[in-house]
Amino acid sequence: MSDTEEATPSREMRLVSSSLHPLPPKTLKQETRFWARGSGVTTLWTILAILCTPLLAYFVLVSCYGTFQRRQNVIGASLLEPCFADWSWMGIFEVNIAFGSFTYLQAKYLDAAWNLLVGKTSQALAAWICYKVFAMALLRITERSRVSFRLYTATAFYPTDFLTLWKYVRGLAVSRTARERAILVWFCFAAAYVLTLSTILDLVTGYVTTQEAAVSLADGGFASLRGVRWFDGAYKELYSYDVSVYPNKSDISVHTLSGQNFTYLDLIDNSTSVWKQPPIVCMQGSKYRWGFSVGWIWILLPSTLIWISGMFGMYVDAMNHDFLWQMGRRPGVYRDILDVAEAIQEELGPDTCGYSDKELSREIDRLDAIGFVGLQEGNVQNIRLSTRISDVYDGLGNEDMSCERLGTAMSPR
């Protein structure tokens, strides 16, 4: 025998080595519900506080700053700071709360850092929360009802994908119960929120060029407003804007032969005031300001609060009513792989190694919907996904029933 043949293990050796570490059967046992509920509620409320507190603090900051900005604009009367940016309902989705003075490259880097650190990180965290909570809700549905193979695999492995969102919409047409429809509707909203979160966070921020006030000269040129000296007549003459008419001190009293006195006032004949706007224009500066859009914040904040509240409610509902969750059979990547593989092998048989994914997908689409069934064998419960859910006793000491019935039978009296 050559060295190459000695180094290559035989088929029998590979089969033996593959079964060196088999897992023993494990009996399902209900965990302490107080621990599970307390741990879950604490975790979700922590996530809620981490996500909502910065948003609420920032919203208050933006509101206060916007009020201060508008007040400053009124005090300045658009004379001292005519190019002072003030947001209005017409430009509510523009960058209207801006800070600093940056070069173009600095503003670009700052905006990119926001998109990467805040936008992508928030989207990844939201997708992870969806993966965990959707798995619990899917477990609750399949314990009491059936779903298609495609909907189950899409929700289990890539719950926030764009194509999965379309599967949720299609699942509404074939849903059997109001609870199932409500869960699928929430799946649609939560997945759409995750898909658009990064884009909305990108729209929240931006950078704009600075504006500098200048005086338009008669020769067509411009002079910076900072280099122009002017005065306010109310300050120089000690007038008051609260009095509409003042006596003209240069009036002359005329005495007529009849003894009547007349006083001539220097007034405009039609009693109208003429105001000429100062020749001030706003010139684009060479620096940039980075900031936020109040309009997009008002869209982001309510949708985030709704999303967090809905995910929290779904988590608590599934944690307190999922039979398999309470028994410690929690969903996850490998758990879902084993469940789906067992259900497919039950229907298509073990000889599937030569088929392509397209061929397998076509055959799986022809199968019935799947749900969890429980096979009770003495003290061991075999829980699996199957299309063959029945409540028929097979006469051999085994009972094949839905998980809902198995959970009822095993619940403490």
Q: Do 125 and 179 lie in a common domain?
A: yes
Q: Do 298 and 318 lie in a common domain?
A: yes
AA letter at 192: A
263 or 173: which carries more pLDDT confidence?
173
At residue 100, what are phi and psi to the nearest 5 degrees?
75, 180
Mean per-residue pLDDT of the chain: 72
In this predicted structure, what is the pLDDT of residue 171? 86
Residue 260 counted as domain residue: no
Residue 133 counted as domain residue: yes
Residue 311 reports pLDDT greater than 80: yes
99 contacts 327 by C-beta, under 8 angstroms = no
Residue 264 counted as domain residue: no
Q: Do 288 and 413 lie in a common domain?
A: no
Q: Do 163 and 80 lie in a common domain?
A: yes
Average pLDDT estimate for 120-140: 92
74 or 291: which carries more pLDDT confidence?
291
User: How far, in Å, are 21, 288, 313, 331, 337 from residue 183 at the CA level?
Assistant: 39, 46, 11, 18, 23
Strand residue runs (E) in 59-164: 97-102
Confidence of residue 72 (pLDDT cuts 50, 70, 90): very low
Q: Do 379 and 326 lie in a common domain?
A: no
Lowest mean pLDDT among 1-10, 190-199, 273-282: 1-10
Q: How many domains does the chain have?
A: 2
pTM of structure: 0.70
Q: Do 282 and 375 lie in a common domain?
A: no
Q: Do 412 and 284 lie in a common domain?
A: no
Residue 259 counted as domain residue: no
Distance CA 263, CA 265 (A): 6
Average pLDDT estimate for 65-89: 47
In this predicted structure, what is the pLDDT of residue 94? 83
Residue 213 reports pLDDT greater than 60: yes
In this predicted structure, what is the pLDDT of residue 187? 94
Q: Do 115 and 54 lie in a common domain?
A: yes
Lowest mean pLDDT among 120-129, 217-226, 228-237, 306-315: 228-237
Residue 322 reports pLDDT greater than 60: yes
Residue 232 counted as domain residue: no
Residue 113 reports pLDDT greater than 60: yes
Range of 51-65, 100-114, 229-243, 272-286 with top mean pLDDT: 100-114
pLDDT in tens, 155-180: 999 999 988 989 898 888 888 788 88
Query: Which residue is listed with tokens 């804007």?
Result: 241
Token readout for 3 is 């060295």
Residue 13 counted as domain residue: no
Q: Do 214 and 363 lie in a common domain?
A: no
Token readout for 1 is 């025998």
Lowest mean pLDDT among 151-165, 216-230, 248-262: 248-262
Distance CA 192, CA 160 (A): 8
77 or 271: which carries more pLDDT confidence?
271
Range of 5-9, 70-74, 209-213, 378-382 with top mean pLDDT: 209-213
Q: Do 157 and 216 lie in a common domain?
A: yes
Q: Do 298 and 317 lie in a common domain?
A: yes
Residue 211 reports pLDDT greater than 80: no
Average pLDDT estimate for 37-65: 59
Q: Do 180 and 56 lie in a common domain?
A: yes
| Structural domain boundaries enclosing 140 | 35-220+277-330
Determine the Cα angle at 396 with ends 393 and 398, to 5°: 55
Residue 250 counted as domain residue: no
Neighbours of 135 (CB within 10 A): 22
In this predicted structure, what is the pLDDT of residue 55? 61
Residue 44 counted as domain residue: yes
Average pLDDT estimate for 367-390: 75
